[in-house]
């Protein structure tokens, strides 16, 4: 998902130039936009600031955690005034800005949310220095906004401290929570009476822009980490022969940053905390513990009972990596400083931020508000050394530079890469075959090599090998392209080389392993929306449906995964139905030995959102199968089946009547009380449909 970087600035009444984002402590009274102000109001605001901040610092953690739950926010505290609400909101923003690194699976969403919260600081600046009292509807809106910040804080803390394995497995549910926070934030900002609280046009436009970006971001489909998703599926599977593959386990552990003894100890504690909340016997917890134990075995750790009270390692203490020391943050941007400098007032700021402040014709200290005798900047070497040591100790990476560092410990050399690419064009078949195989193996386990092979021209040569009659060369070439396509930039390069039609030809006519890996390659390439269209127009969907019918268990899984991703495109749903996808999906539901009920139901859930799909699958026998799964399936099966039935019934009341005739009612009542969170929501939705259509028994 793309990160919408909102570049915000706050304005002063005495100057038309803009300044960087700042906290409410930063504006000088003489630079306020207030048309008039009583001395009493200003004195109260200024003198009470540090007192309020101290009070909030003492109670903020306790209040933030008790006010919020997943459905709403409950509080018995008396209604605060506008000044309190502004200060409490700013304290919440400053708290989340000090959180350390977030879990990799939600990192982009976390940093995006934190940036958007920080971009509201200019709004609070102006509200703080208003001369007139905030009207009641303004106080109500600010109260609602503060509650959203509490909800955001709880979510961000989970992504900062929670189990990495749990967050990876529950990435879809976490995304739903982020979208819920985004929606609540939009609603709260929409209700702000900007005119009545006299917010400047510039700040109002910034807020409206952020709301637009939030809503646009919610409509976008998130591109998941394909390698992580596939590896998680393999390691957590009870039937996939790759579930004990050491290479896959090591790769997954590295992806989740669980490849050291210290991090595995911390993860054990985090999982223990999750288990206390969800119950030790839940299916999800058992799955998490199994994955954790595989990581421990690979890294030579003793596998102990996770639910025994573990001893917390020192690095888990609050003063360690979980929270960034406040003095390391620039008071203007609330980011960890890289080049701290001291100004005439004795305060320290990030060099770039304070320079922008001065360049905007400000001659005061943003923090103390005093007028400066000079604008010279002196490097704060002592603080810079402390920050550097802290970064190294806590392995902290700034959000704006995260992911830019080159991979470490690579065993692949440039000479080896160049030599293998040259051998792909050899006139000797044996040399070509070996080169394709070596590229396949190197690109499987080494992310850096995927970039280097592409830069050295491996993709065109591999695409050409796909047309060779030698079945082994075909297999190695298509699998090498699959591995290279894990890198997002390589997806475009492969498509630009007209590889997709050739991969589809291998999918139709190659040996079974080549067909399976071709399906996996199409899944990877289809992560790009433009490639979804190319694959469909190249008749890739009928070829995948054919593999779904005729393939091995692994082939069927690769095919249904690729088809699922392709059918995120609405037009491709009709193409899949026309290609005959429904009958083989029904067979997957009925053949329990294949262990693919969840995959089939997920596919059906996509198809029922299309009118043609509802017509094709909404037959009496299918309703009976759904009800049977709701009765006897696993918790995940029941959740998916209830979702499909709800989608069908919302468009045609005869489907809910048929389900009632098959005896679904009592099982829906049970699921609404004991099922997974999502299953409970779907079951209640079905019961509501019954109620509104007068079909309750």
243 and 213 within one domain: no
Q: How far apart are CA 202 and CA 199, in angstroms?
A: 8
Among residues 478, 396, 393, 391, which one has the least CA distance to residue 437? 478
Residues 360-398: b if buried by 16+ CB within 10 A, e if exposed: bebebbbbebeebeeeebeebeebbeebeebbeeeebbe
Residues 6+ apart with CB under 8 A from 121: 8, 10, 21, 22, 23, 24, 90, 93
Domain boundary among the residues 299, 320, 340 is at: 299
User: What is the chain's alpha carbon radius of gyration, rounded to the nearest angstrom?
Assistant: 29
214 and 264 within one domain: no
DSSP state of 9: E
Q: Three-class SS of residue 254?
A: helix
Among residues 616, 599, 608, which one has the least CA distance to residue 562? 599
What backbone torsions phi and psi does residue 221 show, to the nearest 5 degrees?
Answer: -90, 135
Say if 578 falls within a structural domain: no
- pLDDT tier at 312, thresholds 50, 70, 90: very low
Q: Residue 685: CA atoms inside 13 Å, Cβ hemisphere, count?
A: 17
367 close to 347: Cβ distance less than 8 angstroms: yes
Whole-number percent of the chain with pLDDT over 70: 77
Say if 591 falls within a structural domain: no
Which structure tokens are listed for 525? 């390439």
Cβ burial, residue 191 (10 Å; 0-12/13-18/19+): middle
6 close to 119: Cβ distance less than 8 angstroms: yes
| Domain total of the chain | 2
Q: Which residues pair with 323 in a beta bridge?
A: 99
- Predicted local confidence at residue 583, as pLDDT: 92
Rounded (5°) CA angle 518-521-524: 155
- Predicted local confidence at residue 61, as pLDDT: 39
**Distance, C-alpha 27 to centroid of its chain:** 35
Biggest distance spanned by C-alpha atoms of the chain: 90
Answer with the residue of higher pLDDT: 14 or 144.
144
- Count of Cβ atoms closer than 10 Å to residue 488 Cβ: 13
Place of tokens 């090591």: 250
Of 434-438, 475-479, 653-657, which range is least confident? Answer: 653-657
488 close to 521: Cβ distance less than 8 angstroms: no
**Which whole number is the average pLDDT over 104-133?**
82
> 156: part of which helix (H) or strand (E)?
helix 136-161
249 and 189 within one domain: no
Average pLDDT, the chain: 77
- Predicted local confidence at residue 131, as pLDDT: 56
**Distance, C-alpha 323 to centroid of its chain:** 21
198 and 88 within one domain: yes
Say if 124 falls within a structural domain: yes
Answer with the residue of higher pLDDT: 590 or 300.
590
Domain boundary among the residues 299, 331, 347 is at: 299
**Distance, C-alpha 524 to centroid of its chain:** 18
Say if 159 falls within a structural domain: yes
- Predicted local confidence at residue 402, as pLDDT: 38
> 650: part of which helix (H) or strand (E)?
helix 635-651
**Which whole number is the average pLDDT over 222-245?**
64
- Count of Cβ atoms closer than 10 Å to residue 90 Cβ: 25
Categorise residue 369: left if φ over 0, alpha if ψ from -120 to 50, beta otherwise: left
234 and 210 within one domain: no
Q: Which parts of 506-629 are beta strand (E)? A: none
196 and 114 within one domain: yes
> 187: part of which helix (H) or strand (E)?
helix 171-190
Say if 35 falls within a structural domain: no
Say if 39 falls within a structural domain: no
362 close to 354: Cβ distance less than 8 angstroms: no
295 and 248 within one domain: yes
- pLDDT tier at 464, thresholds 50, 70, 90: very high
Q: Does this model's pTM top 0.75?
A: no
- Structural domain that includes position 267: 224-299
Say if 144 falls within a structural domain: yes
Q: Please write the tens of the pLDDT for every residue from 549-575.
A: 999 988 998 899 899 989 988 899 999
Domain boundary among the residues 299, 319, 354 is at: 299
173 and 138 within one domain: yes
Reply yes or no on whether the pLDDT at 138 is more than 90.
Answer: no
Categorise residue 663: left if φ over 0, alpha if ψ from -120 to 50, beta otherwise: left
243 and 198 within one domain: no
264 and 174 within one domain: no
Q: How far apart are CA 479 and CA 309, in angstroms?
A: 45
Rounded (5°) CA angle 295-278-257: 25
Say if 253 falls within a structural domain: yes
- pLDDT tier at 591, thresholds 50, 70, 90: confident
Alpha helices (H) in 346-446, listed in sequence order = 351-359, 381-394, 414-423, 429-445
Q: Please write the tens of the pLDDT for every residue from 341-373.
A: 999 888 899 898 888 888 877 788 887 778 888
Q: Please write the tens of the pLDDT for every residue from 266-280.
A: 888 888 888 877 665
Residues 6+ apart with CB under 8 A from 214: 4, 116, 182, 185, 186
Q: How far apart are CA 67 and CA 311, in angstroms?
A: 30
Alpha-carbon separation of residue 666 from 322, 637, 696 (angstroms)? 46, 17, 11
- Count of Cβ atoms closer than 10 Å to residue 2 Cβ: 11
239 and 209 within one domain: no
268 and 181 within one domain: no
Among residues 53, 697, 691, 631, which one has the least CA distance to residue 367? 53
**Which whole number is the average pLDDT over 31-43?**
36
**Which whole number is the average pLDDT over 601-629?**
86
């Amino acid at each position: 998902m793309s990160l919408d970087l909102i570049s915000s600035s706050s304005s002063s009444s005495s100057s038309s130039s803009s300044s960087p984002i700042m906290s409410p402590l930063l504006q000088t009274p003489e630079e306020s936009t207030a048309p008039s102000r009583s001395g009493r109001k200003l004195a109260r605001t200024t003198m009470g600031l540090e007192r309020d901040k101290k009070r909030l610092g003492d109670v903020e953690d306790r209040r933030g955690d008790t006010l919020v739950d997943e459905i709403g926010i409950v509080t018995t505290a008396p209604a605060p005034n506008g000044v309190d609400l502004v200060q409490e909101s700013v304290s919440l923003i400053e708290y989340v800005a000090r959180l350390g690194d977030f879990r990799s699976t939600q990192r982009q969403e976390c940093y995006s949310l934190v940036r958007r919260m920080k971009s509201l600081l200019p709004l609070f600046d102006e509200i703080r220095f208003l001369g007139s009292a905030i009207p009641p509807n303004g106080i109500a809106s600010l109260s609602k906004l503060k509650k959203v910040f509490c909800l955001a804080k709880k979510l961000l803390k989970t992504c900062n401290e929670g189990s990495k394995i749990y967050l990876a497995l529950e990435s879809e549910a976490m995304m739903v929570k982020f979208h819920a926070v985004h929606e609540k934030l939009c609603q709260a900002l929409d209700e702000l009476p900007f005119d009545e609280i006299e917010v400047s046009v510039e700040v109002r436009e910034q807020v409206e822009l952020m709301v637009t970006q939030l809503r646009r971001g919610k409509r976008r489909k998130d591109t998941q980490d394909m390698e992580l998703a596939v590896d998680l599926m393999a390691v957590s599977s009870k039937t996939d022969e790759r579930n004990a593959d050491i290479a896959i386990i090591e790769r997954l552990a590295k992806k989740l940053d669980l490849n050291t003894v210290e991090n595995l100890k911390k993860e054990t504690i985090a999982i223990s905390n999750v288990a206390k909340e969800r119950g030790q016997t839940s299916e999800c917890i058992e799955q998490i513990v199994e994955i954790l134990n595989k990581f421990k075995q690979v890294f030579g750790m003793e596998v102990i009972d996770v639910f025994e009270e573990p001893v917390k390692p020192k690095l888990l203490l609050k003063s360690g990596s979980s929270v960034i020391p406040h003095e390391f943050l620039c008071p203007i941007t609330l980011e960890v400083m890289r080049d701290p400098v001291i100004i005439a007032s004795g305060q320290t700021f990030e060099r770039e931020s304070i320079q922008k402040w001065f360049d905007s014709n400000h001659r005061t200290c943003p923090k103390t508000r005093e007028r400066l005798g000079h604008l010279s900047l002196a490097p704060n070497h002592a603080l810079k050394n402390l920050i550097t040591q802290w970064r190294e100790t806590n392995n902290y990476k700034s959000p704006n530079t995260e992911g830019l560092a080159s991979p470490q410990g690579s065993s692949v050399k440039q000479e080896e890469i160049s030599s293998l690419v040259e051998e792909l064009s050899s006139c000797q078949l044996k040399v070509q075959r070996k080169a394709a195989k070596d590229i396949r193996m190197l690109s499987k386990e080494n992310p850096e090599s995927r970039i280097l092979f592409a830069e050295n021209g491996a993709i065109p040569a591999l695409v050409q090998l796909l047309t060779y009659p030698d079945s082994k060369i075909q297999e190695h070439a298509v699998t090498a392209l699959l591995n290279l396509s894990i890198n997002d930039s390589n997806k475009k390069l492969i498509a630009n080389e007209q590889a997709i039609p050739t991969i589809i030809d291998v999918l139709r006519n190659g040996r079974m392993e080549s067909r399976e890996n071709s399906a996996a390659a199409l899944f990877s390439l289809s992560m790009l929306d433009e490639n979804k269209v190319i694959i469909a127009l190249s008749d890739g969907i009928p070829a995948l449906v054919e593999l779904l019918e005729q393939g091995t268990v692994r082939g069927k899984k690769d095919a249904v995964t690729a088809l699922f991703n392709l059918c995120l495109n609405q037009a491709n749903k009709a193409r899949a139905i026309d290609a005959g996808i429904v009958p083989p999906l029904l067979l997957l539901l009925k053949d329990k030995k294949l262990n693919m009920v969840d995959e089939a139901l997920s596919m059906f859930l996509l198809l029922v959102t299309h009118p043609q799909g509802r017509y094709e699958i909404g037959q009496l026998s299918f309703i009976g199968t759904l009800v049977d799964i709701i009765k006897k399936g696993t918790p995940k099966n029941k959740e998916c089946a209830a979702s499909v039935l709800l989608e069908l019934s919302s468009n045609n009341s005869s489907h809910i009547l048929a389900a009632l005739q098959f005896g679904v009612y009592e099982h829906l009542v049970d699921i609404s009380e004991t099922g997974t969170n999502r299953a409970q929501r779907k079951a209640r939705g079905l019961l509501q449909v019954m109620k509104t259509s007068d079909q309750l028994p």
